[in-house]
Amino acid sequence: MQFVAETAKLAAIRAFTAPARCPRCDDWMIAPVHSEFVEGGEIRHTWECESCGEISATVIDLGGPAAEAA
């Protein structure tokens, strides 16, 4: 069972470090312009595409207490 929990944590870390694709033009966005940790186990990234200027956001759930209760 421990292996499953560690695999979920590894997936969250990979999601945290992965670049995103622009929802408008599908170009790669390498680094967020803003990131914030939200109490309860979430990381929110705000992205701006250098190609088309589209602003988007991603949320990574780190499996905080609210996620574990579900």
Reported residue count of the chain is 70
Q: How far is 56 from 44, CA to CA, in rounded Å?
A: 11
Tell me the C-alpha distance between 56 and 4, whole Å: 31
pLDDT tens per residue across span 7-30: 666 666 665 567 889 999 999 998
Tell me the whole-structure pTM to 2 decimals. 0.65
Does 51 score more than 60 pLDDT?
yes
Domain 2-69 has CATH 2.20.25.420: yes
Q: What is d(CA 48, CA 16) in angstroms, rounded to the nearest whole number?
A: 17
pLDDT digits (tens, 9 = 90+) for 30-44: 889 999 999 888 889
The mean predicted confidence, pLDDT, of the chain is 79
Looking up tokens 């990979």 gives 14
Q: Which amino acid is at 43?
A: I
